[in-house]
Amino acid sequence: MSHPILTICVPVYNGERYLRQCVDSLLSQTFGDFALLISDNASTDGTRTICESYAAADRRVRYHRHEVNVGMYGNFNFLLGSVRSKYVKIANADDYWSPTMVHDALRELENDASIGLCYPMMVMVDGDGTVTGNYEYRLHIMDDDAATRFRRVLTEIRLVNQLTGVIRMDAVRRALPLVHHTVGDRIYLADLSLYGKIFHLDEYQYFRRFHERSSSYSRGSEAHQVTYVLAAGAKKLRYEAWKYHSALLRRASRAPLGTVRKAKLLTWLLRGAVWDRQRLSADLFAAARG
């Protein structure tokens, strides 16, 4: 276990209701050569007790607790920065997976070094554990050109369930950290696509839970997003459009592309910012009003 091929990262905040099902599904994977890192983002419920019990019972489990909430993506970055294995899997504490998910994803990654991320089909589950339907959309991006993959992510992405697949750590190390933004996951997926292809498995192996306390809750207010996405001390969302476009431009500017290809990609992104000028202006007016 000193050098597992895979690290599974579980960021959690006040996750006592669903955390056991999440961790049990991970420890029950048919592929067992992994370390499981749980990072508790200053939870105020019974999360700590649950995590400590798993760490005591299974030598693969390691537990860390932040004393201050560092934000959802700050917690992701902490975990990803701790990984030393060849592959990583992020596992949201609300969700769970079929037993062969890791095995099947690693099979594709080991067979094709050009794949940076492999993920399965998703089943939607509500807060009570009832299956509400299958999510049929497939984001399968196997283009050789990195700029094409980047554009396809931004134009074709819907629900961002890809990041809970298995990811090649070489791609993670080359990408920039996740940004504290309500669509930080979307930005990060686009960044990862610059360093590897995205492979979609046809098996329904990921069970994603939608409930009113999840960060992706569709009817969540700005206050909800501040609570579940941003770090402690944040009062409101600021400059969201500006942060979004600047993050994409920064990632494209460091992409492994030739001069002409990079210039075309940056031009495409700048054109998108112009199209988004109303939101950019609204950000400035909101900041002026305080």
Lowest mean pLDDT among 28-42, 113-127, 228-242, 254-268: 228-242
Q: Can you tell me the distance from the alpha carbon of 70 to that of 86, in angstroms, rounded to the nearest whole number? A: 26
The string of DSSP letters for 113-138 reads TTEEEEEEEEEEEETTS-EEEEE---
Lowest mean pLDDT among 69-83, 169-183, 231-245, 254-268: 231-245
Q: Is residue 223 part of a domain?
A: no
pLDDT at 187: 98
Q: Tell which residue, 232, 195, 225, 216, has the closest CA to residue 74.
A: 232
- Tell me, what CATH number does 204's domain have? 3.90.550.10
| Whether 115 and 253 share a structural domain | no
- Asked whether the beta carbons of 170 and 145 are under 8 A apart, the reply is no
pLDDT at 3: 82
What confidence tens digit (pLDDT) does each residue in 188-212 have? 999 999 999 999 999 999 999 998 7
What confidence tens digit (pLDDT) does each residue in 3-20 have? 899 999 999 999 999 999
Q: Is residue 147 part of a domain?
A: yes
pTM confidence score = 0.94
| Whether 144 and 19 share a structural domain | yes
Query: How many domains would you assign to the chain?
Result: 2
Binned at pLDDT 50, 70 and 90, residue 213 comes out as confident
Q: Is residue 220 part of a domain?
A: no
**Which domain does 262 fall in, by range?**
238-288
| Whether 16 and 152 share a structural domain | yes
Is pLDDT above 70 for 149? Answer: yes
Binned at pLDDT 50, 70 and 90, residue 287 comes out as confident
What confidence tens digit (pLDDT) does each residue in 48-87 have? 999 999 999 999 999 999 999 999 999 999 999 999 999 9
| Whether 194 and 282 share a structural domain | no
Q: Is residue 139 part of a domain?
A: yes
Helices (H), 157-258: 169-174, 184-193, 222-229, 240-253
The string of DSSP letters for 32-98 reads --EEEEEEEES-SSTHHHHHHHHHHH-TTEEEEEESS---HHHHHHHHHHT--SSEEEE--TT-EE-
